């Protein structure tokens, strides 16, 4: 059997009940985007011993202390010339929930049709979406730290807030980590890849038999 024939055979595979179930669970986990934060940012300083906290959802910013922490962070940002953190400036909030919903529907369609071709398509699409989302988040952080107003009261060198882990910024210790939503979204791609691998593993003996 040639490589082209093997590839065509792979795409024409039918998913069994186990693999369809994995895809359905992946679709359900995508719902975490609408319920749980994706990222958490915490800032500590001598004047803020309890820290300033901000959760980033797929559609909003949510500050600790009943939302007051975001306002306090914006006050601090004003002194160094950084643009205020405002939900309307995050274009990701406009498209991310819709894209995730569309991918969820594609997952359900894949489970209903049970075709390997559809599973490959949704896995590749979701992987691209995840990679682009991470890039977009990193670029947003970079832009905020490198677009400082020259008229700011306090002059600081351009910087990038941490995307993962800890960073010292002036007298602040800033911590940035994925939140529960991001871990569940990571599990989505694990489930999709697992379904792909299981389907391939089940078909491998049949391919070997044909070759011999």
The 10s digit of each residue's pLDDT in 114-135 is 999 999 999 999 999 999 999 9
The answer to whether 55 touches 179, Cβ cutoff 8 Å, is: yes
Phi, psi of 118 (to 5 degrees): -65, -40
Binned at pLDDT 50, 70 and 90, residue 1 comes out as low
Strands (E), the chain: 39-45, 48-56, 61-63, 165-169, 172-178
Position 212 pLDDT exceeds 60: no
Supply the mean pLDDT for the chain: 89
Domains of the chain: total: 1
Domain span at residue 140 reads 3-211
State the greatest distance between any 2 C-alpha atoms of the chain, in Å, as a whole number.
77
Report the alpha-carbon distance of residue 189 to residue 160 in Å, rounded.
Answer: 28
Q: Give 167's strand partners.
A: 174
Q: Output the CA–CA distances (angstroms, integers) from residue 179 to 34, 154, 199, in the order listed.
A: 13, 32, 31
Q: Output the CA–CA distances (angstroms, integers) from residue 34 to 20, 45, 62, 208, in the order listed.
A: 23, 32, 13, 45
The residue-averaged pLDDT of 149-175 equals: 89
């Amino acid at each position: 059997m040639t490589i082209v024939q093997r590839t065509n055979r792979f795409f024409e595979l039918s998913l069994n009940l186990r693999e369809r179930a994995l895809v359905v669970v992946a679709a359900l986990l995508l719902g975490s985007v609408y319920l749980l934060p994706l990222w958490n940012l915490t800032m500590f300083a001598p004047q803020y011993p309890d820290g300033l906290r901000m959760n980033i959802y797929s559609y909003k910013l949510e500050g600790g202390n009943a939302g007051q922490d975001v306002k306090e962070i914006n006050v601090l940002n004003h002194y160094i010339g950084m643009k205020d953190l405002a939900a309307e400036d995050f274009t990701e909030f406009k498209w991310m929930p819709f894209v995730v919903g569309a991918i969820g529907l594609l997952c359900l369609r894949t489970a209903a049709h049970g075709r390997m071709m559809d599973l490959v398509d949704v896995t590749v699409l979701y992987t691209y979406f995840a990679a682009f989302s991470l890039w977009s988040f990193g670029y947003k952080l970079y832009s905020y730290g490198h677009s400082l107003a020259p008229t700011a009261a306090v002059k600081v060198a351009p910087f990038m807030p941490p995307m993962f882990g800890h960073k010292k910024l002036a007298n602040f210790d800033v911590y940035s980590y994925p939140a529960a939503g991001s871990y569940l979204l990571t599990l989505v791609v694990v489930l999709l890849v697992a379904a792909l691998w299981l389907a391939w593993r089940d078909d491998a003996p049949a391919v070997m038999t044909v070759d011999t």
